[in-house]
Structure 1
Amino acid sequence: MIDHTGISVADFDKAQAFYDKAFAPLGAQLLMMVPGEYTGGVKVGGYGRERPVFWLHEAPAGPGRHYAFTARSRAEVDAFYAAAIAAGGRDNGRPGPRPHYHPDYYAAFVFDPDGNNIEAVCHVPA
């Protein structure tokens, strides 16, 4: 039911470097930057696979939020976690099964540079 969402980031360039690396294993990338004349010069960019669905907006970051992104395989979850940690993310839950959510729930969690809890999750049975 969610068409798209976004977060505020304190340093757009730092956040972009993190998300470029963290989202690559999920097949997502920065697809669009909104021209500055429409944003008052504020950096706004959208990530996705086919169209922008997750937006970064440079502004004072608010309290941490949680966003879960669909991985197509458990290997993608593992690769997301490795890429996010290598890009400066902080561990908030290594890749693995989460049977307390669902028997087929396999996920990894990292904090992005602004303290948001970013998750990659796969619902495909092992």
Structure 2
Amino acid sequence: MVRVVGIDHLAIRVSDLARSKRFYDHLLGFMGFEREWEFGEVVGWNNWETMFWITQADPEGMKHPHHEGGIGYHHYAFELGAREEVDALYRYLLTQNVEIVDPPAAYPSYGEGYYAVFFRDPDGLKLEAMHFVEKEKRRARLKKDREGQ
């Protein structure tokens, strides 16, 4: 058996690399990522927990824009350290004229203290920034259990 310790990176294809690079430079920079790679038609950012990469769609891919509800990518959630950070990101997104799908709100059906904002990138890909109190409690219990062993 193997144990996954985290998600190393997410890579998405985009329709306009230059436009998406500007968008993600601003968004990811605001969230503490640094652009670390740029080679050919690939750009990658890193926050030393995970990496986020974009790459230009090929000509065949350009014929098939993303369709939410289709097979494949639904959305990507960035976990933030506090509810106030979700609100701060929302205010930032508004200054950047980013399309907001759902403004910050609590989602009690997702679990205790789930709070999130949903928005779209230039290709209409859905992104989320969230904070989850229940997940913090789970991490604390796991850490305590591991220290007790």
Classify the TM-score, shorter chain: 0.7 to 0.9
Question: Could you list the runs of 5+ residues in structure 1 that have no partner in the other structure?
Answer: 37-42
- Residue 20 (structure 2) pairs with residue 15 (structure 1): yes
Higher helix share: 2
Distance 1:83 1:29, change over 3 A: farther
Question: Partner of 1:44 in structure 2?
Answer: 42
1:66-104 deviation digits (Å, cap 9, x = unpaired): 100111112221222232333332111101211111121
Question: Partner of 1:55 in structure 2?
Answer: 53
**3-state DSSP class of the match of 1:8?**
strand
Question: Partner of 1:67 in structure 2?
Answer: 76
Cα distance in 1 for partners of 2:50, 2:131 equals: 21
Contact conserved, 1:106 with 1:122, CA < 8 A, in 2?
Answer: yes
The TM-score, its normalising length taken from structure 1, stands at 0.80
1:8-48 deviation digits (Å, cap 9, x = unpaired): 11111211221222223321232211x22xxxxxx211122
Question: Partner of 1:4 in structure 2?
Answer: 9
- Residue 120 (structure 2) pairs with residue 115 (structure 1): no
Q: Is the radius of gyration larger for structure 1 or structure 2?
A: 2
Cα distance in 2 for partners of 1:58, 1:118 equals: 19
Aligned length: 118
Question: Could you list the runs of 5+ residues in structure 2 that have no partner in the other structure?
Answer: 1-5, 69-73, 135-149
Q: Which has the higher contact order (CA 8 A, sep 6+)?
A: 1
Percent identical among aligned pairs is 34
Cα distance in 1 for partners of 2:94, 2:125 equals: 14
Cα distance in 2 for partners of 1:80, 1:102 equals: 22
Distance 1:79 1:51, change over 3 A: same
Distance 1:76 1:85, change over 3 A: same
The ranges of structure 1 where at least 4 consecutive aligned residues each deviate by more than 6 angstroms after the TM superposition are none
The TM-score, its normalising length taken from structure 2, stands at 0.69
RMSD: 2.1
